Amino acid sequence: MEFVDQARIQVGAGKGGNGCISFRREKYVPRGGPDGGDGGEGGSVILVVNRNLNTLLDYRYKHEYVAENGRHGKGKKMHGSKGADVELEVPPGTTVYDDQGGLLRDLQYPEDRFVVARGGRGGRGNARFATATNRAPTRWEPGQEGQRRIIRLELRLIADVGIVGYPNSGKSTLLKSISSATPKIADYPFTTLSPNLGVVDLVDFKRFVVADIPGIVEGAHLGKGMGLEFLRHIERTRLLLFLVDLSKKDAGLDYRRLKAELNSYDHGLMEKPRILVWNKIDLVTETHKLKVDEDLPVFCISALKKRGLEPLLKQMQTMLK
């Protein structure tokens, strides 16, 4: 399925039904009085979180969603029915903005609901305006217009662990080795053009979600490559896993550059717990590159050969607790 993490749509709630002006007319009841019913409320447009979704693809091709109008009131105090709501399903982690960029709601949890456009109120019929001094009112109210607005949806994936690294560092290979995810893997850069999610199942029936975050190159925080497209998906992760290709001559420099990119994008990212993982250990014999001037867990693995993965998974589980 194609991954889409931004969408701009127009939503319109239904108009409320008009109130009715009517007087009771029955045999032997010459002055039955007013009996005009109220109009029904217009339908609303509601965003609903569906935990089984991880893309905004449905909103790429259809850009306008309108709820049903409320029905008009009738005689005999018959109230009009409410217009049908329109429910739009979005994945967890969807942030909703108005057309001016103001934050409306952050939808993170399954079954979260947000009324993004509320239906108009139905008008009152003349039966509502009867008083002791005005027993035959001719007053009624029209239904109110429903809300209409343009909104922007932005998806930020929710994952426990975010794998960050330069192209061809082995992020997709690692994700495939520790989960049931099947990302595209090849020996050239930028094979991953969208974030991939994988669920890691542990022997004690515990699990956590890992995201492979693509598109990070030097200058990503300035919009180079696909950096700004996907850096925001790191914001919701609880743990960062820096994956560095140890077979490169400047492997240590790569790690420092990765930290600088994330820090330039959002200073808060470097406050998250993190693990440094040297990958492709099967391709090198030197070990002097493994030294870092930080107090953080460091692991050496071969994602392709599936070496060193068990201690890494235990450390990830421990830190997530």
Contacts of 165 (CB under 8 A, 6+ apart): 171, 216, 242, 243, 244, 245, 254, 258, 279
Among the ranges given (88-97, 105-114, 213-222, 264-273), the one the predictor scored with the smallest mean pLDDT: 213-222
pLDDT over 90, % of the chain: 50
Which two structure tokens, joined as six digits, stand for 309? 């993965």
Put simply, whether the predicted model's pTM sits higher than 0.85 gets the answer: no
Q: Nearest-CA neighbor of 68 among 82, 54, 56, 83? A: 83
Write out pLDDT tens, residues 14-67: 999 999 999 988 777 767 889 999 999 999 999 999 988 888 988 988 999 999
Sign of CA dihedral 53, 56, 62, 65: positive
Residue 245 φ/ψ, nearest 5 degrees: -75, 110
Whole-number Å distance between alpha carbons of 139 and 132: 15
Enumerate domains of the chain plus CATH numbers. 1-155 (2.70.210.12), 161-320 (3.40.50.300)
Above 60 in pLDDT, residue 210? yes
Whole-number Å distance between alpha carbons of 85 and 300: 54
Residue 106 φ/ψ, nearest 5 degrees: -110, 110
Q: How confident is the model at residue 183, as a pLDDT?
A: 59
DSSP H stretches of helix in the chain: 58-61, 171-178, 227-230, 251-265, 309-320
Q: Are 309 and 301 in contact (CB under 8 A)?
A: yes
